[in-house]
Amino acid sequence: VRCGGGVNHRMALSDAALVKDNHVVAAGGVAQAFTAVREQFPGVPVEVEVDSLEQLSEVVAAGADLVLLDNFTPAQMAEAVAIVDARVLLEASGGLTLADAAAVARTGVDYVAVGALTHSAPVLDIGADLTSQ
């Protein structure tokens, strides 16, 4: 990512905690999942994945550092930006491509996660031919 001009917000698992949808279900809710992680790791930034504006409001009120907006439309992203009013950082994620990046960035989110940079990168055809001398 960095070699291509992108920015990593986490270089190792120890740099930050990421609360995903399965953690939310296991904890009984998004705020509960965030709180459990925050209590266990008080000095570690906590990013929480949400899939609705309702979950966003809950986790912002609970004190999340960064919120991952999973599969939001650009209109929902813009609404999320207005809701958080710069209180937390927002990351757009979920099926985004390089073609979507500019439109997503215009919504005002802080980060745009484009998985296609890694899972759909074009192949470079390199060969090494031996010759006799």
Tens of pLDDT along 9-58? 778 878 889 999 999 999 999 999 999 999 999 999 999 999 999 999 99
Q: Please, are residues 74 and 103 in contact by the beta-carbon 8 Å criterion?
A: yes
Q: Please report whether residue 18 resides in a domain.
A: yes
Share of the chain above pLDDT 90, in %: 63
Residue 113's pLDDT is 84
- What average pLDDT score do residues 90-99 get? 87
Q: Please report whether residue 131 resides in a domain.
A: no
**Could you tell me which residues are beta bridge partners of residue 18?**
47
Share of the chain above pLDDT 70, in %: 94
Chain centroid offset of residue 63 CA = 17
Q: Please report whether residue 127 resides in a domain.
A: no
Residue 31's pLDDT is 96
Q: Please report whether residue 133 resides in a domain.
A: no
> How far, in Å, CA of 103 to CA of 98, rounded?
10
Residue 116's pLDDT is 66
What CATH number has the domain bearing residue 48?
Answer: 3.20.20.70
Q: Please report whether residue 69 resides in a domain.
A: yes
Q: How many CB atoms lie within 10 A of CB 89?
A: 17
Q: Which residue has the tokens 């004190």?
A: 63
Q: Please report whether residue 89 resides in a domain.
A: yes
Residue 100's pLDDT is 85
- Looking at per-residue pLDDT, the higher value among 122 and 86 belongs to 86
How does pLDDT run across 114-129, given as a tens digit for each residue?
766 666 777 888 888 8
Task: Using CB atoms within 10 Å of the CB of residue 121, give its burial: 0 to 12 exposed, 13 to 18 middle, 19+ buried.
Answer: exposed
Q: What phi and psi values does residue 29 have, to the nearest 5 degrees?
A: 155, 160
> How far, in Å, CA of 13 to CA of 71, rounded?
23
Structurally, how many domains does the chain consist of?
1
Paired tokens of 59 = 């986790």
- What average pLDDT score do residues 81-98 get? 91
Contacts (Cβ under 8 Å, ≥6 apart) of 79: 53
- Looking at per-residue pLDDT, the higher value among 54 and 100 belongs to 54
Range of the domain at 100: 14-119
- What average pLDDT score do residues 69-85 get? 96
Q: Please report whether residue 130 resides in a domain.
A: no
Q: Please report whether residue 97 resides in a domain.
A: yes
